[in-house]
A and B are shown apart, each in its own frame.
Chain A
Amino acid sequence: MSLPAFADLLERLIFTPGRNAKLALLRRWFATQPDPDRGIGLAAIAGELSFTLAKPSIIRELAAGRTDPELLAMSHDYVGDLAETVALIWPEADPRPNRPPPDLSEVVETLELAAKADIPRIMADWLDVLDAGGRLALIKLVTGGLRVGVSARLARQALADWAKTPVEEIEEVWHGIPVPYRPLFDWLEGRAERPDPKDVPVFRPPMLAQPLETADIAALDHTAYRAEWKWDGVRVQVSAGPGGARLWSRTGEDYSAAFPEIMDSLDFHAVLDGELLVMREGEVAPFADLQQRLNRKVVGPKMLREYPAGLRLYDMLFDGTEDLRPLPFDTRRERLEAWFARVKPRAMDLSPQVAFVSLDQLSALRDGARAAGIEGLMLKRGDSPYVAGRPKGLWWKWKRVPLSVDAVLMYAQRGHGKRSSTYSDYTFGLWRQDENGGRELVPVGKAYSGYTDQELVWLDRWIRNHTTGRFGPVREVEKELVLEVVFDAAQLSGRHKSGVAMRFPRISRLRQDKPAAEADLLETLMAMVENRPEA
């Protein structure tokens, strides 16, 4: 009964908004499902299952053969999602054929062995014995894209919680074990030793930094620390060796396919830690440029030319098979520099260390650095080993003082989960000249954090009492309330009506004292854009 059980899990995951509830549902799956089905379900959720022969077009043709094509088209138009349309419209035989629904393992094994021509018949036989939920689970399983709001990382976290094992230990072997992860479950249930991934590249959980608060600064012995710029890119890990090469995000998501120029350069044997950036002639491009690359699975030559990616290295975890993580940071840095000089990898450079003699000097450097690619500084203890997770006091991130504007609240939207009865997402705007010589507000950003609980209650009530229009879950409000919005950087953007995008905007203060007419102009925000091409 495993496919119906999987269908039930998917159904619940889709409609459950909370992270903790999702973790609980996954833990129950691991605890109650037999092997190999629990591993297959895990792989499907983690996005590591793919069938090359079962394409959405097969599903569409199957449904067209069983239903009226016109009605199928009208239904698809209404429902929007093909998999769901077919699951709902599939005519049920009455009575249902007296065969049990397939196990997940049966689905996987059968499809792997099947000839392409047989797949439609096989799928139809399964669809005939399932209910609507089961049909949807089957179609989603074989065509990919479950979209149940669970990342691979969250799935591994649930696995760790269920097995009462640190998630880092699971991360380190995860990529070396094929679906359905039998050796992994054997280890987690105490039946076997921890699996050895050998040469297969595996993800090493990264060491993270804590934010440096004003209170921490006084206690800091600056001579024990080294400084680097904090780059506004994406933290990644590359792992290359005789068993292959991979590029991972900070959470172990596989970026390899999206960055071929980086993969091309991984002809060495090492594990490196660094920042993924779009770089043009050594100059870091705004984060929005990197987003262009992150959002796609495959990249064309135009993308590669216009948004060239590179890696700025700052740490070395393995040199060949030698694990450097127990060594002090200073030693690892020497090893990284020596390795870099020797190997000269393409599409990479070294993140320079910033020299300083006092924290005051460092603070001044930090505030003076307004280049688009810099978010602030990193402080790393020279004697710190490389420790997975966020250990206290070893690494600090010291973001520069945020920028701020006074903006006018324009629209509000209800949040999710606990905030579903509260207007907690705010779209705000700044003034600009309109064509008739008057002034208009143009939306510049959206924020859903930064306020206190009391401020949230106040804002919610204000919004309900000053609503001028409703668009589904969104309310338009009277343009009267000024919000002080802080953000890390302003960058040009062709995708925003205002032409500018803010990095990490959040509400820092409610300015009930300030008339909306005195809120800032769009020009003020524009002037904060860094590395702006000369007009």
Chain B
Amino acid sequence: MPPHPDTWLRVLPQGLFCEPGDFYIDPQAGVHRAVVSHGHSDHARPDQAAVLGTPETLAIMTARLGEGRAGRTQQPLTYGHSIEQNGVRITLVPAGHVLGSAQVVLEWQGSRVVVSGDYKRQPDPTCEPFQPVACDVFVTEATFALPVFQHPPAQAEMKRLLESVALFPERAHLVGCYALGKCQRLIAELRRAGYERPIYLHGAQASMCALYERFGIGLGALLPVPRPAKRGETVLAGEIVLAPPSAESNPWSRRLADPVTAVASGWMRVRQRAKARGVELPLVVSDHADWPDLLDTIEEVGAPEVWVTHGREDALIYALAQRGVRGRALHLLGREEDEVEADVAEAVQAEAAGA
């Protein structure tokens, strides 16, 4: 009988550790060997000795963390390919979250665990779609694990954004969004909706867009936000500007013509939350699975046991129990539950670093 996964995968302070393989998955601190699911900063930490990830994720880590801090040695592994590490077979499978995001499939002595990282099931023109893999234990996020979270199609939200642009031609539309993934997805979705004008980027968004284009994701005309010609003048009336969610509270935003402040996030589904942030146009666009997609995915992979990394684990574990699936909360440290807050933290760091 194959060994139960809890005999060979443990939660240590640094993160989830594969004992026979002697490596961590998405560790929170620098370790000797790490498999990284995707490039967001709460999964891809600096200063790993050896990093395994998709070529896209490794490139993103190098761009964000800088040469030398994104793993002393980097080992790329493309989707669908496998390697063996001390008898543990590692395969990376698309997770549909952002460019290069992968589920880490681990097999040891006939037992299979899928560490899905962050994932979504909605279509996304900028990354490979999620592929379900049957397994004994499915390790899942639970960011939006409450039945109130049901993400509408992204195209419907783009329609609302474009309607607002048409309604307020004298105002700029400042869309707060995460710099990696959400920003490029919004651009690609706007292009799909037929929007062909240049899209304006805050400095924090530009480098990641350039990286996506190097990987063949076409984003159309992108321009930096110009400075007004004269003091007191404003720019970009009638245009769409993408910036980190915190940018709206920054003096930087004063150059924009009476901006309509939008934020693209799954949290925008809850009006009270959007209102409290002073958002004028909440756009419900998320790169995480919503409640129905979490439940459907778990049913699809058919795992008798599910481990929950972060988010609303109590609600998910409760719902799984009713479906006869054993759930367990891993209580991993350091995961950002709120993508918007995570981005604010990141932007503050960037500000401090003089970016």
Contacts and interface: CB of A to CB of B under 8 A. Distances in A.
Interface of A: 14-17, 67-68, 70-72, 74-75, 78-81, 84-85, 88-89, 132, 136, 414, 416, 418, 420-421, 460, 464, 473
19 contacts: A14-B271, A15-B274, A15-B280, A16-B280, A71-B146, A74-B312, A74-B315, A75-B148, A78-B146, A88-B147, A88-B270, A89-B148, A136-B271, A414-B249, A418-B258, A420-B278, A421-B250, A421-B254, A473-B249
A14 B249 CA distance: 20
Given A74-B146, A84-B270, A460 B251 contact: yes
Given A16-B280, A414-B249, 18 more contacts: A14-B275, A15-B279, A15-B281, A15-B282, A17-B278, A67-B147, A68-B147, A74-B315, A75-B147, A78-B148, A78-B270, A79-B148, A84-B270, A84-B271, A88-B147, A416-B278, A473-B249, A473-B278
B40 to A, nearest CB: 23
The 7 A-B residue pairs whose C-beta atoms are closest, nearest first, are: A88-B148, A75-B148, A89-B147, A74-B315, A15-B280, A75-B146, A421-B253
A132 B148 CA distance: 10
Q: Which of B248, B261, B270, B322 has the most CB of A within 10 A?
A: B270
Contacts of B251: 421, 460, 464
Nearest to B348: A470
Nearest to B319: A71
Nearest to A77: B146
Contacts of B149: 88
A136 B318 CA distance: 27
B126 to A, nearest CB: 27
Contacts of A89: 147-148
A85 B150 CA distance: 12
Contact of A80 (B146, B253, B272): B272
Contacts of B274: 15
Interface string B135-169: 00000000000111110000000000000000000
B336 interface: no
Nearest to B261: A420
Contacts of B121: none
Interface string B275-295: 100111110000000000000
A79 B269 CA distance: 10
Contacts of A16: 280
A183 to B, nearest CB: 32
Interface string B317-343: 011001000000000000000000000
Interface of B: 146-150, 248-251, 253-254, 258, 261, 269-272, 274-275, 278-282, 312, 314-315, 318-319, 322
A421 B234 CA distance: 14
Nearest to B253: A421
A219 B282 CA distance: 54
Contacts of B258: 418
Contacts of A414: 249
A78 B248 contact: no
Nearest to A88: B148
Contact of B248 (A88, A421, A460): A421
A89 B270 CA distance: 11
A17 B315 contact: no
A88 B150 contact: yes
A464 B150 CA distance: 38
A70 B318 contact: yes
Contacts of B270: 78-79, 84, 88
Contact of A78 (B250, B271, B312): B312
A416 B279 CA distance: 10
Contacts of A15: 274-275, 279-282
A86 to B, nearest CB: 9
A464 B275 CA distance: 24
B267 to A, nearest CB: 11
Contacts of A78: 146, 148, 270, 312
B341 to A, nearest CB: 10
A464 B279 CA distance: 22
Nearest to A16: B280
B269 A88 contact: yes
Contacts of A85: 148
A473 B149 CA distance: 25
A420 B322 CA distance: 46
A421 B249 contact: yes
A104 B318 CA distance: 39
A79 B272 CA distance: 7
A26 B261 CA distance: 21
A75 B146 CA distance: 6
Nearest to B280: A15
Contacts of A71: 146-147, 315, 318-319
Contacts of B314: 74
B24 to A, nearest CB: 31
B272 A84 contact: yes
B282 A420 contact: no
Contacts of A132: 150
Nearest to A421: B253
A32 to B, nearest CB: 14
Nearest to A133: B271
Contacts of B272: 79-81, 84
A136 B270 CA distance: 11
B321 to A, nearest CB: 10
A464 B254 CA distance: 15
B249 A420 contact: yes
A334 to B, nearest CB: 53
A81 B275 CA distance: 13
A72 B271 CA distance: 17
B269 A68 contact: no
Contacts of A136: 271
Contacts of B261: 420
Contacts of A72: 147
A420 B318 CA distance: 41
Nearest to A81: B272
Contacts of A420: 248-249, 261, 278
Contacts of B248: 420-421
A403 B250 CA distance: 35
A464 B248 CA distance: 15
A183 B236 CA distance: 45
B279 to A, nearest CB: 7
Nearest to A416: B278
Nearest to A136: B271
B202 to A, nearest CB: 13
Nearest to A17: B280
Contacts of B148: 75, 78-79, 85, 88-89
A74 B142 CA distance: 14
A81 B274 CA distance: 13
Contacts of A416: 278
A80 B146 CA distance: 13
Nearest to B270: A79
A85 B147 CA distance: 9
